[in-house]
Structure 1
Amino acid sequence: MKVHHMVLALNVDFDKQQLQGSVKLLFKRLSDSTQLVLDGRDISIDEVSDIHGNQLEFTQQHVSALQGERIVIEVGGEITQVVLHYCTSKDAQGLQWLTPVQTLGKQSPYLFSQSQPVNARSWIPLQDSPKARITFSASIQVNNGLRAVMSAANSAEMPADGLFTFEMEKPIPTHLLALAVGDLAYGEVSERCAIYTEPAMLEKALIEFEDTESMIVAAESLLGPYPWGRYDMIVLPPSFPFGGMENPRLAFITPTLIAGDKSLVSTVAHELAHSWTGNLVSNATWRDLWLNEGFTTYFTNRLVENIYGKEQADLEWVIEYGRLQEEMQSLPMTSQTLPANVQHQDANDAFNRFTYDKASMFVHELEARLGREAFDKFLYQYVQHFKFEAITTETFIDYAKQTLLVDHVDVISESELMTWVYGEGLPEWFIAPTSTSLDKVKLALKQFTEGVNAAKLQVEAWRVHHWQFFITQLPFQLTQVQLKDLDMTFSFTDSQNAELACDWFRVAIRNHYEIVMPKVGLFLAHIGRAKFVKPLYSEMLIAGYQTQAIEIYQQAREGYHPSLQVQLDAMFKNT
């Protein structure tokens, strides 16, 4: 049986930190089974009934801490709709409840969800799988004057009775179900793009992300009309664990992107690109995540090139390759394929540099071999062919055999395709991306390592990405004199750019540059983005700062998203 639509009716209770209400699930019968099987985790179900109120028998069967429970409902031979009355737990991994003091305004509480990868089941009992695409409608009751928004059609209006209604008439994967409630101001970027965020953040966000409409236009020129109507964004509190989340019609964005110079807005381009590669064509299982993230990472680079120029795009591509190289040193070869090895593991493990950056390198190579015009045609046809579908790696390969390997047999072979997808590491013929814009950075790195003082390096007109490359390519071991020279000259420890600060902190920690430790503690206490938090704690543990890492984590843990808490708890359990 397959659920295809849900009707959600929930009350937001900040005092109890609970969602309470019901969900009606409409499903199709695909066999003669008399049982509807759903996913849940830490959800209390009061009763299950048909649409006439007749109670139905159900059981909740524990599977594992990761998977939660199987909810098995006896539906007989005729029923196609069920209603579950339930409430969530304070421990729901898909929800973070913030007290007023944890917000920017300090006056009102805040709630936001994070359903990816398998956390939708912690706030809605449903079939929680990437292939389970559903439509939905929802009514969310908020009783304290705050605004509710969802991954659906949102309205700038505030209902007087606090009852917000939503409709998503296009089928989306369940991990893209999203809800946020808080003191949210509204500002328009364009007629089809707006930003929701706390009032004190709105002006900065509007300036930082003012190019979003241009990004939408550029994306449409490649992959066709924007398929979701509106592209709104919400800039969340800093405890949001990701750079962005591509929830349709309401992308979630971290405030760490607001650097004041648009240097980090490629993440906005990435979430926008997902509107086609990820939301429109999605991965059927977490093993197939590369189909989502690889094409999107490539597509992001194309948008950056269109809006900000080829130099910027090439810089980001080289840095992307650098991230991949770093992870190639730490993951076993068996994990360095495009399909993620997560059949029996935590789905979070699928989110690595291979499903993002190796997959992106593969798509870049397809473009290079076919030529941009021919590749753009292939990409457009691929997206249109599978729109609103969830596909597997093997589905893509079958499609490529019928199209790519027929139309372009002279430039790519089946053997080469299979090596990219299933081979470990990078193909032996792979040519790494380069950028002449980095020549000046490489010269500065060479000079510094040969003893030239930092103040004498030629760094005029460097962009943030030049600085990123400089920091990440520094020798693994540096002396205290070298570290102090860099820091006194370029003020890395006091950087307000979260990307640069994190990169510098990692260099400093591994070389025991003690002066950074108070700033590292403050950084980890105020930013909950997993991309920064996990590597910094890891560096501290490796470098022998176990006591300090544990102390910082104990103080900061409450401010992290529950899904990140679970991952960090596991990290510290092994120390």
Structure 2
Amino acid sequence: MRRIAATLTILLATTACQTMPQSGTSAAEGATLAAPILTSPEAVDTLTYAKPQIARVTHVALDLDLDFAARRVAGSAQLSVLAAKDADELILDSNGLLIERITDSAGRDLAFTVGETEVEGGKGAPLSIAIGDARSIRIDYRAPQDASALQWLTPQQTSGGEHPYLFSQGQAILNRTWIPTQDSPGIRQTWEARITAPKPLDVVMSGVQQGEPEDLGDGRRAFRFLMDKPVPPYLIAIAAGDIDFKAIGPRTGVWAEPSVLENAYQEVADTEEMVVAAEALYGEYRWGRYDMIVLPPAFPYGGMENPVMTFLTPTFIAGDRSNNGLVAHELAHSWSGNLVTNAVWGDSWLNEGVTTYFENRIVEAVYGKKRAQQEAALMFANIEEVLGEVGADAPGTALSTEGEYELGSAIAYDKGAFFLLTVENIVGRERFDAWLRQWFDNHAFEPATSEMFYEDMMENLVASEREAKALMLREWIFEPGLPSNVAKPDPSAFSEVDAAVSDYARMQTIPAAYPGWTAAEQMRFLDSVPAELPASQLAALDTALGLSDTGNNEILFLWLEMALENRYEPAVPQAEEFLARVGRAKFVRPLFQVLWDQGDWGRPVAQRIYAKTRDNYHSVTRAGVDRILAAE
């Protein structure tokens, strides 16, 4: 197994970043480059206790046992450290970790303290280690049973119903609940892992598996993984369960539970074509393999872009690939987010907005311009809806913010994408693509800030003062609202649907063409009909359009949201069934919010459903619903 360097070579500092002088050695073997640490004021991560400019982690080697009976991960983490010559303390992030012992490479005990826990925001506590001149340390520890990053599922919560399941979700700062390291997107690290699990479970991680599993002879097997490229620590991920694999192309494939695998494969069968399209746009795919795992429905997000192993929700499976823009999005993260990463979470748009733009370009290349235009129009409607709710000048509507995309996807994702669409529209696609490609190339495997993005555009893209004025770059990135130069979507993208919406609003005419529409067109219609509808019209829509019976969860969600907003009693049992089988926060939180907003009619329903479903949700989803139901 190749590991990281005995002697560390440091990347040269630039005007936007600075690294510490080379010092010390690690216990690992072979040479590597340590990604730079940005030290400009806007790159300081307030969500970590680490002081990486003094002492930083460059490599993590995990040796962990998965105990499904105790619902606990335990073992050791070997950390390679790069530190200034006079540094004698290393500060890590911890949230509930039970530290048993810390030693140096000679096995000598190192003193450590765990500071006061900051409960609000999940920051946890600083783990301060007196390293002296040690540059390789071993931490023996256990993760808490309630580690927020991990969800342990009983057999009954899986499709197969016979074996337990585990998956992690580390973004943004949850991995500090099961891995002792410096948990900041600006402190990139290589890593490796040895994971033991009971037979017959398979283990996958966001690193490349090394060889075949080792039979330990005690009913357990050991799996080994390696990520030899420096990644932000939130991208270290694990899943274990009764899962099988099916290849798509020479470097792509999908894992899923056996009963789900064929449907999952059919839904993502275009993935190899997507990788080819992405490479044609912005250069080589640099991670080797691109595999995916379709997780049980408790997974809280649509997808998570973990390198070499994208995690996906089963709720995107519609049978017609209409929702696999999700796959294009997670694939695009292999460039924007994984290759070049926001240094702080207030610049999340650098990951998500750039990726959403890139996703749309992949969709256009693989599925055609019409579908790309329609999906862009849905994004723009999302922006307008949020700005209408919070106000066009609300501070949180700037791309670069103080927190982690506090207003949800409409700003970091959709406004970020329309920023790049607008720039492309002004400078031309050819020039813009060349610029974005060099951005990825020149900052590969490094953190970045909004200021760096702006300065790079000014230096390498903008051709004149006149063009700079037309682009309004600073307004887009640092000011709230939607700049006046926004490249609005083509109004013809949904001309037929918008006409049908108008007809329905005037005469309650249900469109006969609906069954033949694309999923995007159907969603546009459901999202645009009048908000207030009587029970008779809701019943007619459901019957005529088959909304209750749709296999597309995106459309089913829109139907349930609309029905509950209008206190449509027949939708309550269906909403209860939906919320019991789906854990995706995008669906769960809004439906509980709708019920809660209905006062005496909806609140008892929300409380009854949540009492049954809460334990099935990941901590990410639970936290959001807890806040809703705690509100007066």
TM-score (norm 2): 0.88
Q: Does 1:53 find its partner at 2:79?
A: no
Q: Does 1:498 find its partner at 2:553?
A: yes
Is the contact made by 2:423 and 2:471 (CA closer than 8 Å) also made in structure 1?
no
The aligned residue for residue 239 of structure 2 is 180
The aligned residue for residue 566 of structure 1 is 623
Is the contact made by 2:561 and 2:591 (CA closer than 8 Å) also made in structure 1?
yes
Is the contact made by 1:2 and 1:29 (CA closer than 8 Å) also made in structure 2?
yes
Alignment of 1:379-458 (within 5 A): 379-405=436-462, 407=463, 409-413=465-469, 416-454=472-510, 457-458=512-513
Q: Does 1:322 find its partner at 2:406?
A: no
The aligned residue for residue 565 of structure 2 is 510
2:397 alignment partner, one of 306, 318, 336: 336
Instruction: Give the SS at the match of 1:430.
Output: coil
Is the contact made by 1:311 and 1:435 (CA closer than 8 Å) also made in structure 2?
no
Q: Does 1:86 find its partner at 2:141?
A: yes
Alignment of 1:69-108 (within 5 A): 69-76=125-132, 78-108=133-163
**Amino acid in structure 2 at the alignment position of 1:324:** I
Alignment of 1:52-451 (within 5 A): 52-65=106-119, 66-76=122-132, 78-154=133-209, 157-161=212-216, 162-331=221-390, 333-342=394-403, 347=404, 349=406, 351-405=408-462, 407=463, 409-413=465-469, 416-451=472-507
The aligned residue for residue 29 of structure 2 is none
Is the contact made by 2:405 and 2:412 (CA closer than 8 Å) also made in structure 1?
no
Looking at structure 1, the residues matched to 210 and 536 of structure 2 have their Cα atoms a distance apart, in angstroms, of: 56
Unaligned runs of 5+ in 2: 1-54
The aligned residue for residue 542 of structure 1 is 597
Residue 200 and residue 408 in structure 1: after superposition, are their counterparts in 2 closer, same or farther (change >3 A)? farther
**Amino acid in structure 1 at the alignment position of 2:310:** A
Moved more, 318-327 or 26-35: 26-35
Is the contact made by 1:370 and 1:408 (CA closer than 8 Å) also made in structure 2?
no
**Amino acid in structure 1 at the alignment position of 2:473:** L
Instruction: Give the SS at the match of 2:468.
Output: coil
Residue 444 of structure 1 and its aligned partner are, at CA, apart by 1.0
What CA deviation, in whole Å up to 9, does each residue of 1:286-330 have, x standing for no partner? 011111111100000000000000010001000111122222233
Is the contact made by 1:18 and 1:88 (CA closer than 8 Å) also made in structure 2?
yes
Residue 348 and residue 177 in structure 1: after superposition, are their counterparts in 2 closer, same or farther (change >3 A)? farther
Is the contact made by 1:36 and 1:75 (CA closer than 8 Å) also made in structure 2?
yes
Looking at structure 1, the residues matched to 306 and 114 of structure 2 have their Cα atoms a distance apart, in angstroms, of: 29
Residue 101 of structure 1 and its aligned partner are, at CA, apart by 0.4
What CA deviation, in whole Å up to 9, does each residue of 1:372-411 have, x standing for no partner? 1111101111111111100111111222222123x35443
Looking at structure 1, the residues matched to 430 and 629 of structure 2 have their Cα atoms a distance apart, in angstroms, of: 50
Residue 7 and residue 514 in structure 1: after superposition, are their counterparts in 2 closer, same or farther (change >3 A)? same
Residue 553 and residue 460 in structure 1: after superposition, are their counterparts in 2 closer, same or farther (change >3 A)? closer
How many aligned residue pairs are there? Answer: 568
Looking at structure 1, the residues matched to 416 and 80 of structure 2 have their Cα atoms a distance apart, in angstroms, of: 36
Looking at structure 2, the residues matched to 198 and 458 of structure 1 have their Cα atoms a distance apart, in angstroms, of: 37
What CA deviation, in whole Å up to 9, does each residue of 1:71-98 have, x standing for no partner? 000112x111111100111110000000
Instruction: Give the SS at the match of 1:4.
Output: strand
Looking at structure 2, the residues matched to 63 and 348 of structure 1 have their Cα atoms a distance apart, in angstroms, of: 24
Looking at structure 2, the residues matched to 222 and 34 of structure 1 have their Cα atoms a distance apart, in angstroms, of: 46
Looking at structure 1, the residues matched to 470 and 340 of structure 2 have their Cα atoms a distance apart, in angstroms, of: 23
Moved more, 429-438 or 361-370: 429-438
Residue 495 of structure 1 and its aligned partner are, at CA, apart by 2.0
Residue 8 of structure 1 and its aligned partner are, at CA, apart by 0.4
Looking at structure 1, the residues matched to 316 and 436 of structure 2 have their Cα atoms a distance apart, in angstroms, of: 29
Looking at structure 2, the residues matched to 403 and 295 of structure 1 have their Cα atoms a distance apart, in angstroms, of: 17
Unaligned runs of 5+ in 1: none
Residue 457 of structure 1 and its aligned partner are, at CA, apart by 3.8
**Amino acid in structure 1 at the alignment position of 2:399:** L
Moved more, 216-225 or 474-483: 474-483
Is the contact made by 2:184 and 2:233 (CA closer than 8 Å) also made in structure 1?
yes
The aligned residue for residue 33 of structure 2 is none
**Amino acid in structure 2 at the alignment position of 1:165:** R
Residue 211 of structure 1 and its aligned partner are, at CA, apart by 0.4
Coordinate RMSD, CA, aligned:
1.5
Looking at structure 2, the residues matched to 245 and 421 of structure 1 have their Cα atoms a distance apart, in angstroms, of: 25
Sequence identity (%): 38
Looking at structure 2, the residues matched to 104 and 479 of structure 1 have their Cα atoms a distance apart, in angstroms, of: 38
Instruction: Give the SS at the match of 1:373.
Output: helix
**Amino acid in structure 2 at the alignment position of 1:84:** I
Is the contact made by 1:2 and 1:30 (CA closer than 8 Å) also made in structure 2?
no
Moved more, 150-159 or 3-12: 150-159
Looking at structure 2, the residues matched to 348 and 118 of structure 1 have their Cα atoms a distance apart, in angstroms, of: 14
Residue 156 of structure 1 and its aligned partner are, at CA, apart by 8.5
Looking at structure 2, the residues matched to 436 and 149 of structure 1 have their Cα atoms a distance apart, in angstroms, of: 45
The aligned residue for residue 37 of structure 1 is 91
What CA deviation, in whole Å up to 9, does each residue of 1:509-559 have, x standing for no partner? 111111101000111111000111111111111122111101111110111
Residue 488 of structure 1 and its aligned partner are, at CA, apart by 1.4
Is the contact made by 1:321 and 1:433 (CA closer than 8 Å) also made in structure 2?
yes
Instruction: Give the SS at the match of 1:64.
Output: coil
**Amino acid in structure 2 at the alignment position of 1:517:** V
Is the contact made by 2:305 and 2:330 (CA closer than 8 Å) also made in structure 1?
yes
Residue 570 of structure 1 and its aligned partner are, at CA, apart by 2.1
What CA deviation, in whole Å up to 9, does each residue of 1:263-294 have, x standing for no partner? 00000000000001110011000011111111
Instruction: Give the SS at the match of 1:47.
Output: strand
The aligned residue for residue 474 of structure 1 is 529
Instruction: Give the SS at the match of 1:59.
Output: strand
TM-score (norm 1): 0.96
Looking at structure 2, the residues matched to 106 and 155 of structure 1 have their Cα atoms a distance apart, in angstroms, of: 29
Instruction: Give the SS at the match of 2:190.
Output: strand
